[in-house]
Amino acid sequence: MGLIGVLPRMTARRPPVLLVTLPGATRERLAVEAELRHRGWPSAAGPAAAAGLVVAGEQGDVQPPWLADVWKGVPRPKAYVSVRQADDAPRALDVLGRLLATGRQGDAPWPPSTGSPGGTRGRERQDREDGGHGPYRHPEAGGHQARHDQGDHMDHPGRQDHGERPGRQDHGGHRGGVVAGLPMAGRADDRDGLRLDRLHLPLGPVLPDWPAGLVLEVALQGDVVQSVTEHPPAAGVPGRCPFWSEPWLRAAAGEAVTRGTAERRRCASHLDSVGRLLAVAGWPRPAAEARRLRDRLLHGAATDELAPGVLRLTRRVAGSRTLRWLTVALGELPAGRAGELGVTGPALAADGDVHARLCVWLAEIERSLHGMDDTRAVTGGDGPRGRLDPDRPPSRVLLDALLPLLPGAEFACARLILASFDPDLDELVGTGHA
């Protein structure tokens, strides 16, 4: 005992947590994030950095196959909990802490491999082999590992349509083409006309500060994005209203919703987007501040109590010359082009690059702050991301507008561009438009 017994309890006090959000679970994500911040538990950037895996949202009948990979990628000692309802968040994290302290894992999101004849030891070895098999594995690795326990993973986003990938057709150019059972990366011309390795990589659904439920198949050369294909989003929970546009949708359905309520939601939504963009830009402190203000807003804090903090944040972010220098001229979307594509809301108003879109959010945050006490009924259907058209939700339009901006951008720039649009996949997967 002694030190060995004390260690798990001591290290379980503030375990790094990897939060995975299932489609349509924004409310649960926000609850878990608020609870994590309250406890001071760090958020892990990936499975390798995590001790606890928290899955926010309803999983439905079909287990997302990638979830098992993520779980396998978390090094032991590890624990798993699921947060199905926003109210469950504090209790679930209590359970997580207890599991880690006692060295138990919790009900894994996937039944442990049943096909392994070697019992526990065999399974352990297999866990090791699968250790890196999360969404961060070698992009060409998927689908080629004929392991008996993975036959049912074929619908993993990264493993679809094998035959159509250009990288795979290039294999003839390599001696052998397969190293240690994995195919080599293919080659293609890059933007300077050089023939370089081209890697295929599924981005999402588990990446830090990434829109929940989004999966993009990208081809990379070095760290330059060559092409992007979107995977159709997984179905969300039926009958759920997208959290951020809820007040407007409810008003459209005939409910009485005040403008103040809607503006509060808009303000929180933009703070969420700003927090995400700043986190992607690698500025953790104001990102955390934006998220803290967002949570206080959603918990109903009074306007005059919040206003100084919000204004301090918006002024500071808008006034940062370094941030401006790092985000100008990225992902330009002129208003004319945006209008043609049907974009509405902040991305249309911004008429420009990543920094312009950020500034529109900041301006709207300040404006919404002053409209939060308005008790008149909501009119019009302009949610935080644009006009709420039931046939073509604004986030669909945003995705269609932003994907063509990604090829040619470096990985970091591509992530900034995506974060500056911040499409909300809940609008696409939520079947319930109230």
Partner 1 sequence: MPEAAPLWAALVLPVALCLAAVAAAAFDAVLGGDARRGGPGVLAAATAPVREGLRLLAQQRRTTPSADVALGRIGLGLVPVAAVLAAAVVPWGGVSVADPVVGIVWFNAMEVLAWAAVWLAGWGPNSALSLIGGYRFLAQGLAYELPHMLALTIAGLGAESLRVSEVVGAQQGLWFVVWMPAAFAVYLLSAPAMSFWGPFGHPLGRDVAGGAAAEYSGVDRLLLLGGRWLLLVATAAFSVPLFLGGGQGPLLPGWAWTLLKTAAVLAALIVVRRMLPVLRMERYMEFAWMVLVPLALLQALFVAIVVLNR
The site for partner 1 (CB under 8 A) is made up of: 7-8, 10-11, 13-15, 37-40, 45-46, 48-49, 51, 73, 75-77, 128-133, 136-139, 141, 145, 179-182, 199, 201, 207-209, 220, 222-223, 278-285, 288-289, 292, 320, 322-323, 325-326, 410-413, 415-416
Rounded least distance, CB 284 to partner 1, Å: 8
CA 202, CA 190: separation in Å to the nearest integer? 20
Closest approach, Cβ 20 to partner 1, in A, equals: 13
Query: Side-chain half-sphere of 385: how many Cα atoms within 13 Å?
Result: 31
12: which 2 tokens? 């379980």
Q: Which residue has 């073509």 as its token pair?
A: 392
Of 284, 302, 303, nearest to 366 by C-alpha is 303
Give 301 or 341: the residue with its C-beta nearer to partner 1.
301
Q: What's the min distance (Å) between Cβ of 403 and partner 1? A: 18
Q: How far is residue 16's CA from residue 14's CA, in Å, rounded to a whole number? A: 7
Structure tokens at 433: 């438009």
Least CB distance to partner 1 at residue 77 (A): 7
Q: Please state, in angstroms and rounded to a whole number, the distance separating the CA atoms of residues 352 and 216.
A: 24
> Bridge partners of 297?
none
Question: Shortest distance, CB of residue 176 to partner 1, whole angstroms?
Answer: 14
Half-sphere exposure of residue 88, counting CA atoms within 13 Å on the CB side? 17
H/E stretch holding 104: none
Pick from 193, 387, 271: which is nearest to 33 by CA?
A: 271
Nearer to partner 1, 49 or 311 (CB): 49
Which CB atom, from 202 or from 383, has the smaller least distance to partner 1? 202
Q: For the chain, what is the largest distance between any 2 Cα atoms, rounded to a whole number of angstroms?
A: 71
CB of residue 402 vs partner 1: minimum separation in angstroms?
Answer: 16
Q: Which is nearer to partner 1, 157 or 236 (CB)?
A: 157
- Report helix, strand or coil for 195: strand
**Pick 15 or 386: Cβ nearer partner 1:** 15
How near is the Cβ of 253 to partner 1 at its closest, in Å? Answer: 38
Amino acid at 273: S
- CB of 55 closer than 8 Å to CB of 90: no
Task: Choose between 51 and 349: whose C-beta lies nearer to partner 1.
Answer: 51
Of the two residues 89 and 429, which places its CB atom closer to partner 1 in the complex? 89
Are the C-beta atoms of residues 375 and 260 closer than 8 Å to each other?
Answer: yes
Query: Could you give the 3-state DSSP secondary structure of residue 43?
Result: strand
CA 218, 220, 222 angle in degrees (round to 5)?
Answer: 160
Residue 9 or 195: the one with the smaller Cβ distance to partner 1 is: 9
Angle at 420 between CA 300 and CA 333, to 5 degrees: 135
Name the minimum Å distance from CB 334 to partner 1: 22
